[in-house]
Amino acid sequence: MQLTACSTFGYIAHTSSGHLKLMSDRQSISSLIDDEHVDQAQKIKFKNILAIREFASSQLRLPDNKSYTSYVDLDRDYVTWVVFATPPLSLQAKSWCFWVVGCVPYRGYFDQDKAQQFANQLKLQQMEVYVAPVPAYSTLGWFSDPLLSSMLDSGELVAAEYIFHELAHQQLYIKNDTSFNEAFASAIGQLGVIAWLEAEKEPAKLKRYLQSKREKQQLYLIVDNFRQQLVEIYNSSLTQSEKLRLKQEAFVSYEKRVVSKLEQWGKLRIYRQWLLEDMNNAKLNAFSTYQALVPEFISLFETCNESFDEFYRVIESTQRLNNQQRVEFLQDGKCHQIK
């Protein structure tokens, strides 16, 4: 079954109308703070968001514009649903190409049913799919992106991380290198929250945040080791049936390792859905896309004297490299601009 050009045009129409609906629903955060009908608790949240937004530009050196100075109260828990897909015996992600962003390993929808319908079409092509709910997204600076109610649902620090992450996409975006772009933005999200908590003199919150990130990094390593194990199986000269058998065994082993670690921490309920439910090749690729290179970015930032300006100059210079060369540059870990 082939996806037709008509379906592509329909997709673009859907994403365009969904985005324009958000733009039309925006309200100035400053006006909401002054609105007597907005309750005091919400006003405090909005004031904190504006402080975080100002910090992003003044201290993290991220773009200074009107993004995240307006607000949209969604009628749903997430803004988009993103579809990832891979073959059953490969970790080579299916990609889709668009004029502005280049080729990316996913398609996002403003409607959950439309995302699931597209996922079902891919399943008919014998693809493994993962539909990820997403609370935030970026237009790469083409529009003044609003703060969304979905970005506030998990608390102030998560909202701050989303804002820093999405502004990082405006700071730097390299076409056709999603793993680099997303890991860079994820690293800036984490570094930004650390800097914010240090500036706010919140040592207890900072300690909890750093502990959470250390735990997640341990879990990412388990996921990445599992992914590498599957790569070896898929790239082997074994028959298809043998690969499928080893794949199933690898999934069982992975689940046991994750459950053991989470039970040890007493956090099986918290992470079960994230790390265990509906795990397949496509979901593994989504993990890798957003997290695989984050430690390298953070290490490079530290090597660059923890200077955001210097760090950005170095990262921006990698646009001269190809995708693999950028990975090798990060792994080398030297803070120098590519000439």
- The pair of structure tokens assigned to 82 is 């993103």
Would you say residue 319 lies in a domain?
A: no
When pLDDT is averaged across residues 131-147 and rounded to a whole number, the result is 92
pLDDT of residue 2: 33
> What are the backbone dihedrals phi and psi of residue 20, each rounded to the nearest 5 degrees, phi first?
-65, -30
Tens of pLDDT, residues 19-50: 889 999 999 999 999 999 999 999 999 999 99
The tally of domains found in the chain comes to 1
Query: Is the pLDDT reported for residue 114 higher than 80?
Result: yes
Residue 203 makes CB contacts below 8 A (sequence gap 6+) with: 197
CA distance linking residue 53 with residue 257, whole number of Å: 40
Would you say residue 194 lies in a domain?
A: no
When pLDDT is averaged across residues 241-257 and rounded to a whole number, the result is 96
Would you say residue 148 lies in a domain?
A: yes
pLDDT of residue 60: 98
Query: Is the pLDDT reported for residue 83 higher than 50?
Result: yes
Average pLDDT value over all residues in the chain: 93
When pLDDT is averaged across residues 271-300 and rounded to a whole number, the result is 92
Residue 190 makes CB contacts below 8 A (sequence gap 6+) with: 161, 213, 294, 298
* 184 in Cβ contact with 168 (< 8 Å): yes
Closest among 111, 144, 97, 94 to 17, alpha carbons compared: 111
Query: Is the pLDDT reported for residue 4 higher than 80?
Result: no
Tens of pLDDT, residues 302-326: 999 999 999 999 999 999 999 999 9
Query: Is the pLDDT reported for residue 6 higher than 80?
Result: no
CA distance linking residue 7 with residue 100, whole number of Å: 18
Would you say residue 76 lies in a domain?
A: yes
Q: pTM score, two decimals?
A: 0.92
Cβ neighbours around 110 below 10 Å, total = 20
Enclosing domain of residue 151: 5-158
Confidence of residue 7 (pLDDT cuts 50, 70, 90): low
Which contiguous run of DSSP H or E holds residue 27? strand 27-28
Which contiguous run of DSSP H or E holds residue 102? strand 102-104
Tens of pLDDT, residues 48-77: 999 999 999 999 999 999 999 999 999 899
Would you say residue 151 lies in a domain?
A: yes
Tens of pLDDT, residues 207-235: 999 999 999 999 999 999 999 999 999 99
Query: Is the pLDDT reported for residue 3 higher than 50?
Result: no
pLDDT of residue 270: 87
DSSP string, 285-311: HHHHHHHTTHHHHHHHHHHTTT-HHHH
Would you say residue 290 lies in a domain?
A: no
Tens of pLDDT, residues 118-137: 999 999 999 999 999 999 98
Would you say residue 36 lies in a domain?
A: yes
CA distance linking residue 157 with residue 87, whole number of Å: 36
When pLDDT is averaged across residues 8-22 and rounded to a whole number, the result is 85
> What are the backbone dihedrals phi and psi of residue 139, each rounded to the nearest 5 degrees, phi first?
-100, 15
Would you say residue 268 lies in a domain?
A: no
CA distance linking residue 178 with residue 149, whole number of Å: 26
Q: For residue 306, is it left (φ>0), alpha (ψ between -120 and 50) or beta?
A: left
pLDDT of residue 142: 87
Asked which of 47-56, 90-99, 178-187 is least confident by mean pLDDT, the reply is 90-99
